[in-house]
Structure 1
Amino acid sequence: MGSRHISLKDLARELNISISTVSRALKDHPDISREMKEKVKKLAIERNYTPNPLAMGLLKQETRMIGIVVPDLVTHFYASIISGIESVAKENGYFAVIASSNENIIKEKESIENLLKARVEGLIVCMSRETNTTDHFEKLVSRDIPLVMFDRVCLGDKIPAVIADNADASQKIVEHFYAKGYRRIAYVSGPENLSISKERMKGYWAGIKACGITPDENLVENCDLTFESAKTAMNRLLQLPNPPDAVYGINDTVAFGLMKAIKEAGLKIPDDIGVVGFTDEFHSVVVTPALTSVTHPTFEMGQQIAQLFFKSLTPGFQAETLIVKTQLVERESSNKSQS
C-alpha cells in the first residue's frame, strides 16, 4: 500500500468486515468479540494505522484547528507571537494553521476564506497594512465564527483583541528624546487606516505636549511601512528649512530606512539625529549604531492571544481588549554626547 495514509476503510477491506466494526474494535466496544478486536488491532499495528485527526474531527464537527493570519512570516515579532499562540493551543489539544497576507487586503481575505474551507474552528488575525475596510471581519462576527485580533485591530466593541500600550510607549519615546537633549523630534508613522498608526500618533502628540515643545505638523510624515518609503519620508524631513534632530519610526523596518537616509545624507547618528524604533527586531542590535527600540513580550503576548481565543469560546463571552506593557530598550542610536 506504499507510504500513503492507511484508513479504516483499508483495514475493513482487508479483513472483509464493515468500517464501523473496525472502528468499534479499535475502541474496545463491548459489542465486538475479543477475537475480532485482537485481529483488527494486530492488522492496525502491521499496517502502521494511525487515526486521521482531521477526518475524526469532521465526524464530530470539530477539527481542533485555529487559523492564524499575519502580515508576514519573516518578522521575528510575528514568529514569536505565533510560537506563544501555538504553546497554549497545544495545551488545549489544538494546533495552528498559519497563513500570510503579505500586507495585502485581497490575500488577507483569501487566506481567511481558505482557512474556513479547511474547517478551522476560529481565527486569530493581525490586519495587513492595506486593510482599510472591516466588512470581511464583520461578516465573521455575524456568522459567530470565533475571532481574536492582535496588534493591528478593529471593531473593538465586537472583536476581542490583544494590543501593546501604543500611546503610552510612543509618549515615552518623545520624553526619552527630550531627556537626551533633542528638541526637534519627528515621527514617521504608517498608513492612517491602521490602529497602531492612530494610537502611536496620539502618544507622539501627548509626548510633545508633556515636554512643552511647540507642536510642528511638518515634523510628522507617513509611509507604507516599507524600508524604501521610510527612506523617502526621512529625505523629506531632512529637506525642511529647520530639520529634525531626532526621529522615531513606527516600527523597526521603518527605523532602519530612516537610518539609511540619514547616513546617505552624511549625517551622524546619534549626534546629528537620534533614532528610535518600535518592536525591537533582532536586527536592532546588529545595525550600527545599535537601535533604541520599544520591545514587546512577544511570546507572552502570543500566549495571551490564545488564552483570549479559548475564553471567547465560552457562552456569554463579551469582547474585551487586553493591553500588553512594553519597554523602551536604550541603545546607542538615541544617546548623543552631551557637553
Structure 2
Amino acid sequence: MRKHPISLKTLAQALNVSMSTVSRALKNHPDIGPEITKKVQQLAQELQYSPNPLAMGLLKNKTRIIGVIVPDLVTYFFSSIISGIESVAEENGYYIVIRSSYESYEKEKECLENLLKLRVEGIIMCLSQETTDYTHFDHLIEEDMPLVFFDRVCRTTEVDTVVVDNQVAACHITEHFVERGYRRIAHIAGPAQLNITRERIQGYKDGLANTGLHFQDALLVHCDMSIDSATAATRQLLALPQPPNAIFGVNDTTAFAAMKEIKRQGLRIPTDVALVGFSDEFHATVVEPTLTSIMHPSFEIGQEAAHLFLKQMHTKIKMPAQQVILQTHLVIRDSTIAT
C-alpha cells in the first residue's frame, strides 16, 4: 500500500523530467509538447495524483487558508457562525482552519501562534472571556494582515468587526418584561471586561429607565457564562429578601441554568419568575417551558466576517476599520407568557 500521496516530484522522477515540466504539462501549457503532456497526464491519472493546495499555496506564498478562533466548539452559536464563514470562504476558493481558545487567554495566544505557523492568510476570531490584554494582535495590525473580530471585539478603531446591537436588544428584553407585568427585573451578566456584557447591561438599564423603573444593584449579578456560575448567580438572586420575578440571562446557556435552578426551588416559569435568554439557540425551542430569547443572526455574522476578511485581502490601500452592526429580534415563547 502507498504510504505517501503522489507528488509532482514522484511524477517527475518516474518520467525523468523536471517538476516544472510536470506542473506545466498538467495545466496543458503550450510550451510543453503534446507527447510529454499526454504522458504526464496519463501517469497522473494512473497514480491518482491530486494537487496539494497547501503546498501549491506555499510556493506562491498564498495558502488561501483563513484561521478561525472561537471560544468553544460546542454551542450552536459558534458552530453556526463557523458555517457562515465557511460558506463564503468556499465560494471564494478559501479553506478554513478552526481552533478553540476554550475561553482561555493563554490558549487564545497559542491558537493564534499556531495558525500563523500554518501560514494562514489572516484571522477571523471571537475573544475569549479571559482576554483583557490585546497586545498579541499588535504584529498582525502592524503588518496589515487581514484580521476580523466578531461578537466579542476589541480595538475597533483599528480592526474590522461584526457585532449585533446588544444595547438595543437588551433594552427590548427589559421593556418586554414590563409589558408583561413584571417589575422586579434582574440581569445575570457576563464577565465585566467583555463588550457584550457592558452593552447588554447598558441596554438593561435603558429599558428600566424607559419604563420608569429604578436600577437596583442587587438585581445585577455577573457570571462566567458557565452552567455552574449561572446557577450560583440565580441562587443569589432568588435568595434576596425581595427576589426578582423576571430574569434576563446574558446568553441562552445562562438562561437554561437559571431555568433549572428556578424549577429546583419549586417556582413556576413564568408565573413566579419569567425568563429570557440571548442568542436563541435550538434548545430554546425544546426546553419546558420554551424560552423567550433574542434571535442572534449567527450565520449572517459569519458571512459578514468573511466578507470583511476578503475585502481586506483584495484591497491594496489601507482602509479605516469598518464595523458591521446587525439587528436582532425578540422571539417570544412560553417563558414570558403566563398561561
The runs of 5 or more residues in structure 2 that have no matched partner are none
TM-score, length of structure 1 as denominator length: 0.97
Distance 2:180 2:329 in 1: 17
Distance 1:318 1:82 in 2: 25
The aligned counterpart of 1:171 is 171
Any idea what SS the aligned residue of 1:124 has? strand
Any idea what SS the aligned residue of 2:21 has? helix
The aligned counterpart of 1:49 is 49
The aligned counterpart of 1:318 is 320
The aligned counterpart of 2:240 is 240
Structure 1 residues 184-333: aligned runs within 5 Å: 184-313=184-313, 314=315, 315-333=317-335
On the 8 A contact 1:11/1:22 being kept in 2, the answer is yes
Distance 2:243 2:22 in 1: 77
Any idea what SS the aligned residue of 1:237 has? helix
AA aligned opposite 2:72: D
The aligned counterpart of 1:143 is 143
Shift of 1:53: 0.8
Deviates more, 1:183-192 or 1:103-112: 103-112
Identity %: 54
Any idea what SS the aligned residue of 1:248 has? strand
The aligned counterpart of 2:121 is 121
The aligned counterpart of 1:23 is 23
Any idea what SS the aligned residue of 2:325 has? strand
For residues 229-270 of structure 1, what are the alpha-carbon distances to aligned partners after superposition, in whole Å with 9 as ceiling and x for unaligned?
A: 011011111111111110100000001111112112211110
Number of aligned residues: 337
Distance 1:213 1:129 in 2: 30
The runs of 5 or more residues in structure 1 that have no matched partner are none
Deviates more, 1:186-195 or 1:139-148: 139-148
Structure 1 residues 48-127: aligned runs within 5 Å: 48-127=48-127
Shift of 1:139: 3.0
For residues 6-40 of structure 1, what are the alpha-carbon distances to aligned partners after superposition, in whole Å with 9 as ceiling and x for unaligned?
A: 00100111112221221222222333222111111
Distance 2:38 2:159 in 1: 51
Deviates more, 1:12-21 or 1:198-207: 12-21
On the 8 A contact 1:65/1:121 being kept in 2, the answer is yes
AA aligned opposite 2:319: F
Shift of 1:331: 0.6
For residues 112-142 of structure 1, what are the alpha-carbon distances to aligned partners after superposition, in whole Å with 9 as ceiling and x for unaligned?
A: 1111111110100001111111111233212
Deviates more, 1:190-199 or 1:313-322: 313-322
Distance 1:137 1:21 in 2: 42
